[in-house]
Amino acid sequence: MLRREFVRAVVSVSFAPKLLLAQQSAEPAPARPAPVPWTLGLNPRTPLPHTEVVDGIAETELRFFTPQQMATLVRLSDVLMPPLDSRPGAVQAGTPLFLDFLIGSSPDARKKVYTGGLNWLESESQKTYKKPFANLDTGQVDALLKPWLRTWMNDHPPTEQHAGFVNIAHDDIRTATVNSKAWSDAPADPDERTAAGLYWYPIEPDLYARNADCAHLPPHVVAAPKAAHTMPSYPR
């Protein structure tokens, strides 16, 4: 934007509250001749379009795992976290395809844990039952998985090869499921609610807070005005 146009836009924005009032009056001010500065119309009364979280509306595309690895992951997810009572299971929460996205976006070491682990499950299944892991019944899956279950503490999953995959995948499948929209929509015990917290946006300085009044943003908290102003003081 040319400097002159920028200045014009800023000047126009500063008149916005007056323009708003003008629109409400019996005799609205005559429309401006074109061209109108780009951002002139947006104001605090502009309705915000309502958007939805994509999960449950659109399907994630399979981009990382092979179809066979995905079939194994779906069966694994269903056994590790089946639907219970009112709670959706991992499959209903879209967890396998979400993990395809998450693991596919991750560093190689994490990718190898999953691809190696899923391939191992498939080969164990073929060796033991002569059929794909995806077609095993729950008892057969239990026989393959249970020897590798371990208890462990945060940041220290088991380091044995297969136990590492089984326990890490279990933890990831549970987290992805509990944090899903589907889980959040189901009635759940307060201690099993989807994680919620204070999300920090990227923090960059900009000028919009200077127009906080206009934008109806929460007022910026000034920690301590300079000496010329009165300021709160903590008792010591």
Name the DSSP class of 201: P
Q: Which of 13, 71, 74, 81 binds other proteins (CB under 8 A)?
A: 81
82 binds other proteins (CB under 8 A): yes
Measure the CA–CA gap between 108 and 47, rounded to whole angstroms: 44
**Helix or strand (DSSP H, E) at 72:** helix 67-80
Q: Which of 2, 26, 31, 196 binds other proteins (CB under 8 A)?
A: 196
Q: Considering beta carbons, is residue 17 or 225 the nearer one to other proteins? A: 225
DSSP 3-state of 23: helix
156 binds other proteins (CB under 8 A): yes
Provide, rounded to whole angstroms, the least separation between the CB of residue 187 and other proteins: 15
> What angle in degrees, to the nearest 10, is found between the helix axes of 138-145 and 67-80?
90
Measure the CA–CA gap between 177 and 180, rounded to whole angstroms: 5
70 binds other proteins (CB under 8 A): no
226 binds other proteins (CB under 8 A): yes
Q: Which residues make Cβ contacts (< 8 Å) with residue 116, sequence separation at least 6?
A: 161, 165
167 binds other proteins (CB under 8 A): yes
* Residue from 175, 188, 194 nearest 86 by CA: 188
211 binds other proteins (CB under 8 A): no
223 binds other proteins (CB under 8 A): yes
Task: Tell me which residues touch other proteins (CB under 8 A).
Answer: 53, 55, 79-82, 84, 98, 102-103, 105-107, 110, 145-146, 149-156, 167, 170-172, 174-176, 179-181, 183-184, 191-192, 194-205, 209, 217-221, 223-228, 231-234, 236
